[in-house]
Structure 1
Amino acid sequence: MRNSRTLRLLAGLVCVGTAIAACGTSSTSSSNAGGAGFTPPKLEPMAQLGQPEGALNVLAWPGYAENGSNDPNVNWVTPFEQQTGCKVNVKTFGTSDEALNLMKTGEYDVVSASGDASLRLVASGDVEPVNTSLVPNYADVFDFLKNKSWNSVNNVSYGIPHGWGANLLTWRTDKVQPAPTSWSAMFDPNTPYKGKISGYDSPIYIADAALYLMKHNPELGIKNPYALDDKQFTAAVDLLKQQRPLISEYWSDYLKESQAFKNGDSVLGTAWQVTVNVTQGEGAPLQAIVPSEGATGWSDTWMVATKSQHKTCAYKWMDYIISPKVNAQVAEYFGEAPANSKACGQTTDATFCDTYHASDSAYASQIYYWTTPIAQCLDGRTDVQCKDYGDWTRAWTEIKG
């Protein structure tokens, strides 16, 4: 298994003055089309491929660009090098903000950006529009991942979808009965599982509380769990403060959370599908669902650096990494749904895509993908100001105590 996607969203960049708008992403679930609520720098996509430049600097989440150094049997970089002549240098990162800072150095050609980072990269001009016609395998990407708010602006594509997943309600079936169907199992102050609940360790976890309130307290008027005015934000923060005594641990390393589920320190919590698979594989009776309220989640995108000196190699990498066989390999190794519809016919586990709901657009539509909160409300309101990620970060410190 891959190394943990450690501290994926631990802290957001705090934006000041007019730069606040440049930190934004927009929108929530997979049903929303691209449009960010800001005007990105005017940049043109690559018109045509040239001769491969012979080199490529890849910035990626651990597990997305394996070259055999972690496991000699897991290597999709070397075949790419052999096919294209592009010598690949891979740098992994542990948080989205680390990726943002590294991209500003101009040293990297492509980056695998999550939804909390992708449009910040667009707004800052660190990545440029992508000419999808130069990526043949893009044609086979699931339509519900294309032209979305986290990978496009005003219907202009800024990247190539890679993989996605949900933050699931997860429990030990031998300890939690009856089986929960709602996030209430984690937020009810009278839960019998007090001190045995795990929550995600990031300011973005506030969105999970907001999503819960959106369904259970409609009078708050929450339409987007990443667009919270003062009253809505206070309610979400208060809910998490109320939940705090119930929490056994906040996790950022899925393997550590898996261990907690195995040894019984946690019996209920939010987790990724890969956590469920690993834990079940080691004998613990674990189950997970997207509950009645829906769930937060992620959708990752390969993006091209504006300052890249190796753009032909960058495009060849994007086409290669989402090709059916390689996208299947990455998805299985990493633990997420692949983006390429033909990847499902290439997985070693014939049931893999069913487990991860890879082709299920209805399932995907229940997910509110991570996005960066900004002062300009992402739900379209103009009569109020929303809390930005700096506010979320400060509140998260208070919540954890």
Structure 2
Amino acid sequence: MRRARIITGLATAGLLALSACSSGSSGGGANPADGKPPKIDKLASLGAGEGQVNIVSWAGYVENGTNDPKVNWVTDFEKQTGCKVNSKVAGTSDEMVTLMKSGEYDLVSASGDASLRMIYGGVVAPVNTDLVPNYSDVRDFLKMKSWNSVDNVSYGIPHGWGANLLAYRTDKVSPAPTSWSVVFDNAAANAKHITAYDSPIYIADAAMYLMAHKPELGIKNPYALDDKQFNAAVDLLKAQNKNVGEYWSDYTKAVQALKSGNTVAGTAWQVIVNLAEADQAPVAAVLPSEGATGWSDTWMVAAKAKHPNCAYKWMDWIISPQTNAQAAEWFGEAPANPKACEFTSDKGHCDKYHAADAAYASKIWYWTTPTTRCLDGRTNVTCKDYAAWTQAWTGIKG
């Protein structure tokens, strides 16, 4: 919440436009001819630091006191390891992919809608988790998942996670919603006051809804859609479009829309709800009966990292209990390391973000890059990749 308030007041226009885990509106799919990532060796052993590390990250993940003198986990890292941190903030997943392809960066905090593109593209290397001591403490439900591993090979270190919740105005929506139907099949009741996340990855939200309400489509994974399934999701979103007042990617604007009443129901993050509630807006949020999409951000090492030892030292540092607590609280998410909950300044932070609730986490379909290789295990059909999702999103919004 503190991070959100500071960014809201920043004069820098670029930072104002950042969203915590935004997908870009362009970018290709991840479609290797043989269905496997290129062979890249992981680091075999940890050596001395190279003196620096070049990082691409979401805003709020690499804080050195510039935004708030009290928020700084970079300086101690530099002192303890001798690795100077050079960081570049990316505004979208597509920007992250592009920056990592440049070969100038060692490390990236990738969301699931970028990670597979970089894995299959040979941009990032497998991670030797034995060289990251704090990895053993990371919650099991975040390890070796479809967005951070391929064929039982780990490509990243989980950092934090959260759900895309259904937020609503308690003075406008009654009874309290328990289903995403309020923004899909019943959206007309609040025409032009529905909000949705502005990204091709939002197609997964429609697919997830159809999993529950049109089982005859056979959707098993909202990121693995064949032609028929994909077209059904796109049609649902086109029907929703006429009732959408605003698509958002800047979460500060989502806060304002809820506070003003321009939005009465739609997708939001917990931090959006927290900020609106802090300003006395009559809002609430729920993880609906169908579940929710969400994010689990992953630290990934460049395949040709010039400073791999410093990169590994950073990955261990950022998921250490105290640092993971600072980053998760500043960013507005659940920390990956359960020991971090002992060190948050707000002792209710982990409860608020359901950090220890595996049942809650199991209801989340974490962002994963759609590929032609169906992520639900089907081999008799071809699924729509991220490029197709991007093209369809343009048509959905009109």
Question: Could you say which TM-score interval applies, normalised by the shorter chain?
Answer: over 0.9
1:205-354 equivalences under 5 Å are: 205-354=202-351
- TM-score scaled to structure 1, two decimals? 0.93
- Deviation, structure 1 residue 191: 3.9
- TM-score scaled to structure 2, two decimals? 0.93
- How many angstroms apart in 1 are the aligned matches of 2:341 and 2:187? 43
- How many angstroms apart in 2 are the aligned matches of 1:337 and 1:276? 15
- Post-superposition CA distance 1:281-302 (Å, at most 9, x none): 1111211111000011111111
- How many angstroms apart in 1 are the aligned matches of 2:247 and 2:286? 20
Counterpart amino acid of residue 219 in structure 1: E
Secondary structure of 2:396's match?
helix
- How many angstroms apart in 1 are the aligned matches of 2:372 and 2:42? 29
**Residues 177 and 109 of structure 1: CA distance in aligned 2, closer, same or farther (over 3 Å):** same
- Post-superposition CA distance 1:179-214 (Å, at most 9, x none): 000000111246421111110001111111111111
1:31-180 equivalences under 5 Å are: 38-180=35-177
Secondary structure of 2:223's match?
coil
2:193–2:264 contact (8 Å) kept in structure 1 = yes
- How many angstroms apart in 2 are the aligned matches of 1:389 and 1:122? 14
- Deviation, structure 1 residue 167: 0.4
- How many angstroms apart in 2 are the aligned matches of 1:145 and 1:14? 25
Q: Does 1:21 align with 2:32?
A: yes
Counterpart amino acid of residue 324 in structure 1: P
Q: What's the counterpart of residue 12 of structure 2?
A: none
Secondary structure of 1:58's match?
strand
- Post-superposition CA distance 1:316-366 (Å, at most 9, x none): 101111110110010011001100010011111111111111111111111
1:81–1:87 contact (8 Å) kept in structure 2 = yes
Q: What's the counterpart of residue 9 of structure 1?
A: 23
Q: Percent identity?
A: 66
2:161–2:297 contact (8 Å) kept in structure 1 = yes
**Residues 12 and 38 of structure 1: CA distance in aligned 2, closer, same or farther (over 3 Å):** farther
Secondary structure of 1:99's match?
helix
- Post-superposition CA distance 1:133-167 (Å, at most 9, x none): 11111111111111111111222211111001110
Q: What's the counterpart of residue 27 of structure 1?
A: none
- Deviation, structure 1 residue 73: 2.1
Counterpart amino acid of residue 210 in structure 1: A
- How many angstroms apart in 1 are the aligned matches of 2:88 and 2:179? 39
1:7–1:202 contact (8 Å) kept in structure 2 = no
- How many angstroms apart in 2 are the aligned matches of 1:7 and 1:94? 8
* Moved >6 Å (runs of 4+): none
- Deviation, structure 1 residue 239: 0.7
2:138–2:337 contact (8 Å) kept in structure 1 = yes
- How many angstroms apart in 2 are the aligned matches of 1:136 and 1:110? 18
- Post-superposition CA distance 1:367-393 (Å, at most 9, x none): 111112122222222222222222211
- How many angstroms apart in 1 are the aligned matches of 2:54 and 2:21? 23
2:105–2:305 contact (8 Å) kept in structure 1 = yes
Question: Unpaired segments of 5 or more residues in structure 2?
Answer: 8-17
2:24–2:95 contact (8 Å) kept in structure 1 = no
- How many angstroms apart in 2 are the aligned matches of 1:10 and 1:299? 17
Question: Unpaired segments of 5 or more residues in structure 1?
Answer: 23-36
- How many angstroms apart in 2 are the aligned matches of 1:58 and 1:377? 31
- How many angstroms apart in 1 are the aligned matches of 2:79 and 2:216? 59
